[in-house]
Amino acid sequence: MTEAVAGGADVSKLRELNSLSIVRAMRGRRPATVTELATRTGLSRPGTDVVVRGLVTDGWVKVVEPDGSSVGRPARRYRFNAGAGHVLGVDVGGHKILVLLADLDGTVLHRHRLPVASDADPAARLEAVDLAITQCLSAAGMRPEEIWAVTVGVTGPVDATGRTTLFTPLPGWASVSPAEHLADRFTCPILVENDCKLAAVAERWQGAAQDADDIVYLLAGMRTGAGLIIDGTLRRGFGGAAGEIGALKAVRWLSAPAHIENCPGVPEDIHPDDKAAWVFERVREGDRDAKAALRRYVKDLAVGAAALVLTLDPQVVVLGGGYSRSADLIIDPLTRELTRLCLRVPEIRASNLGADSVALGALRVALDQIDARLFGDGMPAPLALS
Amino acid sequence: MTEAVAGGADVSKLRELNSLSIVRAMRGRRPATVTELATRTGLSRPGTDVVVRGLVTDGWVKVVEPDGSSVGRPARRYRFNAGAGHVLGVDVGGHKILVLLADLDGTVLHRHRLPVASDADPAARLEAVDLAITQCLSAAGMRPEEIWAVTVGVTGPVDATGRTTLFTPLPGWASVSPAEHLADRFTCPILVENDCKLAAVAERWQGAAQDADDIVYLLAGMRTGAGLIIDGTLRRGFGGAAGEIGALKAVRWLSAPAHIENCPGVPEDIHPDDKAAWVFERVREGDRDAKAALRRYVKDLAVGAAALVLTLDPQVVVLGGGYSRSADLIIDPLTRELTRLCLRVPEIRASNLGADSVALGALRVALDQIDARLFGDGMPAPLALS
């Protein structure tokens, strides 16, 4: 670095760094004048002007025309062009594929959801993924080359090769590499990550835990799982298997959902996905069997939750997953159980992201990837299409 | 910062920063010439010379006289003066007080150990702490004012006030503030930290996990506990209670040591501290009862260990505590149990720091405190006594 300052490449390098400073000073903020940007970055006003013009030419920055409301000739304002690039977040679930397409500000522009049979084999599931992506891109009028990063959420711990070889409930899916499959269509980086981990990222980004740095995300539904944010960072674990406390029989997560799903009185002809909603409805009506089922469920859920809380001592536990639509019925008894089992009980909050949380977390991880390339060291910035 | 560069205070600030750069470039390395230090820091040779002379005057740096072995006039060499300041690490245990005194390189210069009755009340235990510190300082010929930082290790999670209010097995100790007590003698910063957390720090600093960033430290002894290092950083948890998985009955740590301590055949007149050694000796002799006791102990230890491993997916588990003197008898069956219970089994290593681990970790935390003041922002460097 020190040597390069004396060399010829130095000035262009400096200009590139200045470009990044200015882009960073613009992102997520209101349109700004050159003078304001010079103040924010500490660069000179003439230097800022040159760099901003270059960024406009390259498509990174848009001119915001004055609205004519001010007296005299108003200074021209500029904003970051969030539409310079796009990312995809893909949730490969047991029952659905959800694809979200967002700009560089993370604003979701298009979404596409396809149902998929829970017993679908890998080929059928990947076909549904392909179709959902095709339809989402088509709705956006976009080609795969215009996507800068893709993140795919899957069920089960994701190893260094992007596979769920250790464990996954998706039939036949253990050795599938979604990244290799999608590499036929996309030339951009493709990341694969565990669904609970992505949901945890989403809760800190846009959900119930935006103010917290130490977060346990609990997936409460037909499956039970967890994602961990410690000191503001998603924790994957040395082999990608952090948060898999549910695999320990002693904490009773494996058997917990059965209390709800097999509650006495559930109609035989009801769709499996609707059983829990039926039970929670009966709880609200005061049904004794449903209330007992919920009580037993929460007692089991609490043992694994207590193991996580006692291990990590988080600030917030976010209750997500399908059952969290009835979080108002779960949070109070869960808090009571944790008070009995733990030394210190964190705040328990309900997720408000619904079924989008995994795909939203995937978007955030894809955007982080781009930010690392833009603002991190050593990697070239992607070319902005103007 | 940008404004200050234009102002008058700027040059002295720059010189101070240069001093820190040079101190940093010297620490933990062999004596160096001014030319070598200029190369390491990127500062000019004349500038480096001025700063190094100033550091010698202030006592931070020592001149290393040439040994006469080289031909011609050898360049003068300089080294960091680790003796410019000192720190104390104090382990307030159930049965002993251990005080270590170290220089700024962390080299232990003096140690003092005092036994203390396990049922000692807080006043008696604090008196033992005071006496152990007095005797350690006296052996070093040092006054309390010459100590730059003190860290005290205690049993139980340490809250924001430096107390173990949530839980501690030390009788009557829950509301004791060791920091407030020691503030009568020391004017330097005094930190209080949980013993297992400090032991974890020690294992990464000088022990069995120097190469790892994701570490679970297991205290295996008459008590069972844990300390967590994630991504190279000690994790305290939001309320200081991280690692307290042992409080969860389902993971069986509360009852685990009883298998060893109450093993059939243990002589009635044996000292409680020596029971485990007696049992492990019988295991080596092939005694059936002792082997069964060990098997049951490891089975229980493994449940809590599996909860930690499944939650965090660490690279290494370090087995410490009193029982780890017989780690060779524990590691194999523990690995087998974890293989049965976990998705991915980390490497399990025996601690090699013995009974010093808590006090050593306390030294490291005290040194980190000083480093943060030296190299961190906003705090004045302590005055070096030349």
Please compute the mean of the pLDDT values over residues B166-194 and round it to a whole number. 95
Q: Would the CB atoms of B314 and A343 count as touching at under 8 Å?
A: no
Q: Cβ(B310)–Cβ(A241) under 8 Å?
A: yes
- Stretch (H or E) spanning B231: none
Residue B380 forms part of a structural domain: no
**Are residue B148 and residue B33 in the same domain, yes or no?**
no
Q: Cβ(B228)–Cβ(B200) under 8 Å?
A: yes
Q: How far apart are CA B252 and CA B52, in angstroms?
A: 58
Q: What is the pLDDT of residue A15?
A: 66
> Which of A252, A311, A341 lies at the smallest CB-CB distance from B307?
A311
Strands (E), chain A: 61-64, 77-80, 86-92, 96-103, 108-115, 147-154, 190-194, 215-220, 224-230, 233-234, 316-320, 347-350
Residue B383 forms part of a structural domain: no
Buried b (16+ CB within 10 A) or exposed e, B8-29: eeeeeeeeeebbbbbbebbeee
- Indicate if the pLDDT at residue B275 is higher than 60: yes
Please compute the mean of the pLDDT values over residues B86-96 and round it to a whole number. 96
Q: What is the pLDDT of residue A13?
A: 56
Q: Which of B63, B65, B67 is CA-nearest to residue B53?
A: B63
Q: Would the CB atoms of B307 and A243 count as touching at under 8 Å?
A: no
User: Taking the mean position of all CA atoms in its chain, how far away is CA B243?
Assistant: 16
Which residues span the domain enclosing A288?
A: 208-352
Cβ-proximal residues to A304 (8 Å cutoff; 6+ apart), any chain: A224, A226, A245, A246, A248, A251, A252, A253, A256
**Are residue B193 and residue B257 in the same domain, yes or no?**
no
Q: Cβ(B48)–Cβ(B41) under 8 Å?
A: yes
pLDDT digits (tens, 9 = 90+) for A224-266: 999 999 999 999 999 999 999 999 999 999 999 999 999 999 9
Q: Which long-range contacts (C-beta less than 8 Å, at least 24 apart) are formed by B25-30?
A: B26/B61, B26/B78, B26/B79, B26/B80, B27/B80, B27/B105, B28/B80, B28/B105, B30/B79
**Are residue B123 and residue B239 in the same domain, yes or no?**
no
Beta sheet of A190-194, edge-to-edge order:
A108-115, A96-103, A86-92, A147-154, A190-194
A268 by Cβ neighbours in 10 Å (0-12 / 13-18 / 19+) ranks as: exposed
**Chain A residues with CB-CB distance to B157 below 8 A:** 313, 343-344
Q: Which residue has the tokens 């000292």?
A: B271
Secondary structure letter of residue A216 according to DSSP: E
Q: Which residue has the tokens 């251990």?
A: B98
Give DSSP secondary structure letters for A252-313.
Answer: -TTTHHHHHHT-TT--TTS-GGGHHHHHHHHHHTT-HHHHHHHHHHHHHHHHHHHHHHHHH-
Confidence of residue A378 (pLDDT cuts 50, 70, 90): very low
> Which of B238, B248, B307 lies at the smallest CB-CB distance from A313?
B238
Cβ-proximal residues to B342 (8 Å cutoff; 6+ apart), any chain: A247, A248, B306, B309, B310
- Indicate if the pLDDT at residue B347 is higher than 80: yes
- Stretch (H or E) spanning B228: strand B224-230
Domains of chain A: total: 3
Please compute the mean of the pLDDT values over residues A200-210 and round it to a whole number. 98
- What does R_g of chain B's alpha carbons equal in angstroms? 24
Hey, of B311, B316, B338, which one would you mutate to test binding to chain A, going by the most A CBs within 10 A of its CB? B311
Residue A135 forms part of a structural domain: yes
Q: Would the CB atoms of B247 and A313 count as touching at under 8 Å?
A: no
Q: What is the pLDDT of residue B378?
A: 45
Q: Which of B39, B61, B80 is the last residue of a domain?
A: B80
Among chain A residues, the shortest Cα distance to B340 is held by A248
When mean pLDDT is compared across A304-318, B11-25, B34-48, B230-244, the lowest value belongs to: B11-25
Q: What is the pLDDT of residue B13?
A: 56
Other C-beta atoms lying within 10 Å of the C-beta of residue B60 = 24
* Residue B41 Cα, gap to closest chain A Cα (Å): 11
Q: What is the pLDDT of residue B27?
A: 87
Among chain B residues, the shortest Cα distance to A225 is held by B311
Tell which wins on pLDDT, A248 or B3: A248
Q: Would the CB atoms of A244 and B311 count as touching at under 8 Å?
A: yes
**Are residue A42 and residue A72 in the same domain, yes or no?**
yes
Q: What is the pLDDT of residue B212?
A: 97
Residue B145 forms part of a structural domain: yes
Residues belonging to chain A: 386
Q: What is the pLDDT of residue B70?
A: 64
- Indicate if the pLDDT at residue A68 is higher than 80: no
* Residue A11 Cα, gap to closest chain B Cα (Å): 20
**Are residue B49 and residue B107 in the same domain, yes or no?**
no
Q: How far apart are CA B9 and CA B5, in angstroms?
A: 8
- ∠ CA A276-A282-A283, nearest 5°, is 90
Residues of A with CB under 8 A from a CB of B: 2, 42, 157, 166-167, 214, 226, 228, 230-231, 233, 235-252, 303, 306-308, 310-315, 341-344, 346
**Are residue B245 and residue B222 in the same domain, yes or no?**
yes
**Are residue A161 and residue A65 in the same domain, yes or no?**
no
Q: What is the pLDDT of residue A207?
A: 97
Q: What is the pLDDT of residue A66?
A: 75
User: Taking the mean position of all CA atoms in its chain, how far away is CA B151?
Assistant: 9
Confidence of residue A27 (pLDDT cuts 50, 70, 90): confident
Residue A380 forms part of a structural domain: no
Q: What is the pLDDT of residue A7?
A: 31
Q: Cβ(A140)–Cβ(A195) under 8 Å?
A: no
When mean pLDDT is compared across A14-28, A312-326, B31-45, B218-232, the lowest value belongs to: A14-28
Confidence of residue B9 (pLDDT cuts 50, 70, 90): very low
Q: How far apart are CA A292 and CA A201, in angstroms?
A: 33
When mean pLDDT is compared across A134-138, A181-185, B180-184, B371-375, the lowest value belongs to: B371-375
Hey, of B43, B164, B238, which one would you mutate to test binding to chain A, going by the most A CBs within 10 A of its CB? B238
Tell which wins on pLDDT, B280 or B29: B280
When mean pLDDT is compared across A76-80, A148-152, B291-295, the lowest value belongs to: A76-80
**Are residue A164 and residue A256 in the same domain, yes or no?**
no
**Are residue B232 and residue B348 in the same domain, yes or no?**
yes
CATH number for the domain spanning B339: value is 3.30.420.40
Residue B323 forms part of a structural domain: yes
Q: Cβ(A295)–Cβ(A256) under 8 Å?
A: no
Residue B43 forms part of a structural domain: yes
Q: How far apart are CA B191 and CA A193, in angstroms?
A: 39
**Chain B residues with CB-CB distance to A2 below 8 A:** 42
pLDDT digits (tens, 9 = 90+) for B49-84: 999 998 898 888 999 987 666 667 778 999 999 999
Q: What is the pLDDT of residue A254?
A: 92
Q: Would the CB atoms of A244 and B166 count as touching at under 8 Å?
A: no
Question: What number of C-beta contacts closer than 8 Å exist between A and B?
Answer: 131
Q: How far apart are CA B364 and CA B197, in angstroms?
A: 12
Confidence of residue B11 (pLDDT cuts 50, 70, 90): low
* Residue A357 Cα, gap to closest chain B Cα (Å): 21
Residues of B with CB under 8 A from a CB of A: 2, 42, 157, 166-167, 214, 226, 228, 230-231, 233, 235-252, 303, 306-308, 310-315, 341-344, 346
Q: How far apart are CA A182 and CA A143, in angstroms?
A: 14
Q: Which of A160, A198, A188 is CA-nearest to residue A318?
A: A198
pLDDT digits (tens, 9 = 90+) for B119-146: 999 999 999 999 999 999 999 999 999 9
**Are residue B143 and residue B161 in the same domain, yes or no?**
yes
Helices (H), chain B: 2-6, 10-26, 34-41, 45-58, 122-140, 178-182, 195-205, 256-261, 275-284, 288-312, 327-341, 357-375
Confidence of residue B7 (pLDDT cuts 50, 70, 90): very low
CATH number for the domain spanning B37: value is 1.10.10.10
Over pLDDT 90: what percentage of chain A?
79
Which residue type sits at A368?
D
Other C-beta atoms lying within 10 Å of the C-beta of residue A236 = 20
**Are residue A219 and residue A271 in the same domain, yes or no?**
yes
- Indicate if the pLDDT at residue B353 is higher than 60: yes
Residue B204 forms part of a structural domain: no
**Are residue A142 and residue A180 in the same domain, yes or no?**
yes
Other C-beta atoms lying within 10 Å of the C-beta of residue A55 = 23
Q: Cβ(A230)–Cβ(A308) under 8 Å?
A: no
Q: What is the pLDDT of residue A9?
A: 38
Q: How far apart are CA B201 and CA B364, in angstroms?
A: 7
Please compute the mean of the pLDDT values over residues A26-54 and round it to a whole number. 91
- What does R_g of chain A's alpha carbons equal in angstroms? 24
B308 by Cβ neighbours in 10 Å (0-12 / 13-18 / 19+) ranks as: buried
Confidence of residue A365 (pLDDT cuts 50, 70, 90): very high
Q: Which of A224, A273, A356, A326 is CA-nearest to residue A95?
A: A273
Q: What is the pLDDT of residue B6?
A: 30
